[in-house]
Amino acid sequence: MNTARLILNGDEHELPVVVGTENEVGIDVTSLRSQTGAITIDPGFANTGSCKSAITFIDGENGILRYRGYPIEQIAASRATFIEVAYLLIYGALPTPGEMAEYSRLMTRHSFIHEDMKNFFNNFPPMTHPMAILSAMVGSLSGYYPEGTDELNILRVLAKAKTISAYAYKKSIGEPFVYPKPELSYIANILNMMFSHPSEDYEVPEVLERALRLLLILHADHEQNCSTSTVRMVGSSGAGLFSTISAGICALWGPLHGGANQEVIEMLEHIRDDGGDYKAYIEKAKDKNDPFRLMGFGHRVYKNFDPRAKILKEQADNVLKLMGMDDPLLDIARNLEDIALHDDYFIERKLYPNVDFYSGIIYKAMGIPTNMFTVMFALGRIPGWIAHYREMKADPDTRINRPRQVYVGPAERPWVRREER
Ligand code: ACO
């Protein structure tokens, strides 16, 4: 099968077919408009492949997720560091020990932000959401680092985003900024910059470092999701890396995307405070006249289970146990999941818990405040955005992303003068 046939107004047209590594089939419509004058319509792009990509493979029907061919379960269970996974996603191969050491050194070297940038943090109003601060500060890196190749800026954004995120948090609680420490890993540095205090000794607890490593690795890439497609779209105009990543952060913030992790915990708290009647909330989620949705449920691609959610569900138990905590929200989450998985509404629509359903419970147990959950997701996803940005720029098929439309507004009509309306 290497062509598809389309009959339009009685005329037959042949369209080439692209077949991927795992036999996914795409009908190449690049010549459709020149051949037929017609375009395709696909709101939400559920059937549209925007590019060929060699970074991440997802089989939503079978709950498969692989980074550069490596199954997510194996990566999660390995001793891989977050930076090692970032390297794999960005450059396509596992780093040798020498490459790894050099990459970690560069990551440390670039983790400080320009001292003048600290002034910015003081001028955001106190309740500013840290996602707004993160996107503004990442965008403003172009002012502080106007020179530099893409490769240097990739290191900069990857290394500095964690410092910016921790500073945003410190600012929100009125504590002094903590500089990155060269001897700590990427993950330990995030925790140290968030939780250490100049007046006390602080050692990053191993259980927290392990949990955050896992969370960030599981979020590191997810092919053409909303924020990654935003990155590719903004980058396709030739905009620089910093503005492009800043745009990705904005897209991720939405409650239907990365913002869902904050929404899930707020929903669980709301159910708890409302007396814990989770069954009533299942009914609300099913009611078409009620805008309420079960946050953390459903996914555009996964129609069986989300492998990341499966890993996190197990880890939620472990982390809470290791921290000696018992969170009633975890019970509410498990009960909601159990009911939803046996309810016809959810079964028919193939709605399952997604990565955000359990991540918030782990973040909460780690002492990370709710409004920082999506920031953590962004830190995890930056390697994925960078990998797609690089791939997009190197791809000879890349053109400025500019979809078309079918116009359904008024046909031509004469202008009416103001006094005649
Ligand atoms: N609760 C109740 N009903 C739902 C839910 C939900 N969480 N999700 C989907 N549905 C229903 C829809 O109402 C629709 O029903 P209908 O066919 O009777 O109209 C059907 O399931 C299909 O849903 P769509 O919204 O068309 O699916 P889509 O692929 O466009 O959206 C999305 C996917 C945005 C994730 C959706 O499931 C949702 O809003 N979930 C809650 C938010 C969430 O958890 N987002 C995080 C996604 S993962 C991530 O970005 C990291």
User: Could you tell me if the CB of 192 is within 6 A of ligand 1?
Assistant: no
Nearest CA to ligand 1 atom 44: 296
355 lines ligand 1 (CB under 6 A): yes
Per-residue pLDDT, 230: 98
Q: Which residues contact 343 (CB under 8 A, 6 or more apart)?
A: 282, 286
Mean pLDDT for 100-118 is 94
Sign of the torsion formed by the C-alpha atoms of 26, 31, 33 and 38: negative
Q: Which of 293, 347, 385 to mutate to test the pocket of ligand 1 (most atoms within 8 A of CB)?
A: 293
Give tens-digit pLDDT for 385-411: 999 999 999 999 999 999 999 999 999
Which residues 6+ apart lie within 8 Å of 229 measured at CB?
45, 50, 251
Ligand 1 neighbourhood includes 303 CB (under 6 angstroms) = no
For the whole model, what pTM was predicted?
Answer: 0.94
For residues 369 and 324, what is the distance between their CA atoms, to the nearest angstrom? 19
Report the separation in Å between the CA atom of 298 and the middle of ligand 1, taken as the mean of its atom positions: 5
Per-residue confidence (pLDDT) for residue 177, from 0 to 100: 94
CA atoms of 30 and 398, how far apart (whole Å): 12
**Per-residue confidence (pLDDT) for residue 31, from 0 to 100:** 94
**Tell me, what's the pLDDT at 180?**
95
Ligand 1: centre distance to CA 207 (Å): 33
Strands 11-19 and 70-71: unpaired
For residues 213-242, average pLDDT:
97
The pLDDT value given to residue 1? 62
106's tokens? 């560069």
Residue 64 pLDDT > 90: yes
pLDDT of 286 over the 90 cut? yes
Instruction: List strands edge to edge, sheet with 25-27.
Output: 3-8, 11-19, 25-27
Q: Is the CB of 84 under 6 A from ligand 1?
A: no
Query: Quick check: 419 pLDDT over 70?
Result: yes
Q: CA 283, 289, 292, 298: dihedral to nearest 10 degrees?
A: 80
Q: What is the pLDDT of residues 150-209, one digit of tens each?
A: 999 999 999 999 999 999 999 888 899 999 999 999 999 999 999 999 888 899 999 999
How far, in Å, from the CA of 186 to the mean position of ligand 1?
34
Q: What percentage of the chain has pLDDT greater than the value 70?
A: 100
- What are the residue numbers of the active site? 299, 356
Q: How far, in Å, is the centroid of ligand 1 from the Cα of 344?
A: 15
